[in-house]
Amino acid sequence: MSTTAAPTVSTFPKLAAEEAAAFVHHGETVGFSGFTPAGAPKVVPTAIAGLAKEEHAAGRDYKIGVVTGASTGASLDGALAEADAVAFRTPYQSDPLLRKRINAGQARFFDLHLSLLPQNVRYGFLGPVHVAVVEASNVSADGQITLTSSVGTSPTFCQLADKVIVELNRHHPPELLGFHDVYEPASPPHRREIPIYSASDRVGTPTIQVDPAKIVGVVENDAPDEVGAFAETDEVTKQIGRNVADFLAAEIKSGLIPAEFLPIQSGVGNIANAVLGEMGEHPDIPPFEMYTEVIQNSVISLIQNGKIKFASGCSLTVTPDVLATIYADLEAYRSKLLLRPQEITNHPELVRRLGIISINTAIEVDIFGNANSTHVMGRSMMNGIGGSGDFTRNAYLSIFTCPAAVKGGKISTIVPAVSHQDHNEHSVQVIITDQGVADLRGKSPKERARTIVDQCADPSYRDQLHGYFDRLPDTHTPQTLSAAFAFHEQFMATGDMRGVDWGQHFKN
């Protein structure tokens, strides 16, 4: 494969961001590139937000449907939310202002498994895509777009949109040609198997091919990805990481995981970074591959020290200094990194075939093994389900991690019943907190409950959880609806889940 970047040509009109924004009209749906802030457009969305403010000031309506790969940065989700320009949003978000509008009912949000978003768009389930705004490191005269630090759903948006606006971002080198593997499955009934058999296999093309007639213009800029640093690991997150690493090493030793190990999928955030860090240091875990969504700083560190052999993902969500390190030595990373569409990174067929070990973070887990990834107290959306469901349902081994308690011990993440369920007991195999490991495989509901409380709950909550379980009827899945959410009710009333009076809840 040639990795020589064809020079950008002046075939397409060069537009100011405000000129490009004028192509986006009230009531239209816009597909933006990006998966996390990596690869998300920066200047055109901000200009669209400015246009919305102007229209509102003139007494005219202006809102658009916003569809992306996953979350984005402040200059996209944040700017559009601040301008009250979001009619609906899918499939995932993490901006504080947009989240506030969603939870206040001021912006419609519908949560989707990330693997489903591209095909739902192609099937027409979300209506037409009027405009695609895509960040690129290069675009050729014949419409070949070389992406930047992510792929997301960009190929699908470019295929279906009536108009394509290219943000040509000079912060990313045109020599990125070859770091992307662009592939879209055919739609049923013509779909065939996806021929990926290892994390490093390539099945597509290095660029997105767009009809040049659809490209209305190019907006040049030099804005860096708005990727912030995650919180430093602390003793709790490090202990979670050690527990995960020790568990996986024991699984290898027992023969339940092949000795050569299996590809790893890891979620996003400080716990995920801590888990990968501890896996990298464990002497009994061999060098491994990643087949995941988000490639974070910890993955790059483990590539550098030889612990990760290859990383396939959807985005390079790394801090600016780490991205600069990669860009300074592209040839060294060209054989170590590959970015794909989220439909491929998260595809159930591939997750099952490759035997991926999935490691994701939960907000809370109940004593029967159901997990909540999305809602606080059952009603306030945090970010969305993301890809955790794609991987959990199809993994060789599915693991959920969380601290046993948060907010200074005022909230137990192990509860009698989750306040919102994203992953049920049929899919969750292992729960790991800083307190220990609950292996739920082959266990009945009652056995799961005892194991989770004894192994994973914070010590300050164990007696309280046992007090609930010991009062339950002797049924297959013992549960009492009048008391199941007593932890949550206690917190809403007092700001602390501790001190539930079970006698009051079970008096009838």
Q: Quick check: 361 and 402 in contact, CB under 8 A?
A: yes
Element (H, E) at 108: strand 108-109
- Per the rule left: phi > 0, alpha: psi between -120 and 50, beta: everything else, 111 is beta
SS3 212: helix
HSE (side-chain half, CA atoms, 13 Å) at 79? 20
- Start-to-end C-alpha separation, the chain: 72
Q: Quick check: 363 and 373 in contact, CB under 8 A?
A: yes
d(CA 71, CA 105): 19
**144: phi then psi, degrees, rounded to nearest 5:** -90, 115
Burial of 367: CB neighbours in 10 Å, binned 0-12, 13-18, 19+: buried
CA angle 113, 444, 485 (to 5 degrees): 65
d(CA 421, CA 80): 30
Cβ neighbours for 180, distance < 8 A, ≥ 6 positions apart: 146, 147, 151, 206, 207, 338, 339, 340
> Which one from 28, 278, 289, 293 is the annotated catalytic residue?
293
HSE (side-chain half, CA atoms, 13 Å) at 361? 22
Q: What is the CA radius of gyration of the chain?
A: 23
Question: Is 281 designated active site?
Answer: no
Please report where in the chains the tokens 């009838």 appear, as a residue: 508
Greatest alpha-carbon pair distance for the chain in Å reads 77
Positions marked active-site: 293
